[in-house]
Amino acid sequence: MIAIPAMDIIGGSCVRLRMGDYDTKQVYATDPVEVAKRFAGSGLRRLHLVDLDGARAKQVRNLDMLERISASVDLTIDVGGGLQSAQDFSSVFDAGAAMATVGSLAARDRNLTLELLHRWGSERLILGADCRDGMIAVSGWESTTDLPVVDFIAGYLSSGFTKVVSTDISRDGMMSGPALALYEAIMSRAARDGLAIELIASGGIRSLGDLEVLSRAGLSGAIIGKAIYEGAIDIVRLAAWQAKES
């Protein structure tokens, strides 16, 4: 399992929210490039970069920050937030992203989502399946749909997606532990239907022990945000854990 530090961007700063609420914004760094350099310098290999301005505006807003970070560090960067068209995906890939998440768009336009999958493939596109009370949430988590998350994921896995990132919004930024029951339900459904899945956990992770639990459950990755910024998980120890996991 790979450990993936998160970096959420609002107004050019590195921030964290609580349960997706923009009114709870807490700024942790005004230079995200320096934060990315610390991640890379510690030995970590991935970065989950979220354009929260873009997620709210439904259009990419922090492309310049992605370009600066990708030019400054040797990290495999996956991006999300505000990606609503084929051109948006082309732009972030041109700016240095290795992977990009199809989130709100996948809930709104299945045909376009599958066209994107055909164009870029399952190695570069990640299905975003964030949920509130078991239902898919969209538009920077400000709206909840009537799409059950497990069915939503299974439907896209059957169409060729393999990489999935899922957040239980009630746990995001709360350091209350990962949504293990949610991930077990997703994995169980995929196994029942004979569908390949590389599931990435996000939200609530508070310790290396949580990562161990997720690894034993068969997840392929875990995104860690607030626990890093609050010092509950030291990035040097995290990199050492990753080295042993590899």
Please give the distance of CA 97 from its chain centroid, rounded to a whole number. 13
Place of tokens 């923009």: 22
130 has catalytic annotation: yes
What Å distances lie between residue 162 and 10, 112, 158, 181, 216, CA to CA?
Answer: 29, 17, 9, 20, 19
Are the C-beta atoms of 154 and 161 separated by less than 8 Å? no
Q: Specify whether the CB–CB gap between 129 and 143 falls below 8 A.
A: no
Is 109 a residue of the active site? no
Q: Of the residues 51, 53, 88, 130, which is catalytic?
A: 130
Per-residue DSSP letter, 77: E
Distance CA 107, CA 31 (A): 33
The pair of three-digit structure tokens given for residue 179, joined into one six-digit string = 């949504």
Q: Of residues 8, 51, 78, 210, which has the active-site annotation?
A: 8
CB 102 within 8 A of CB 128: yes
Active-site residue numbers? 8, 130
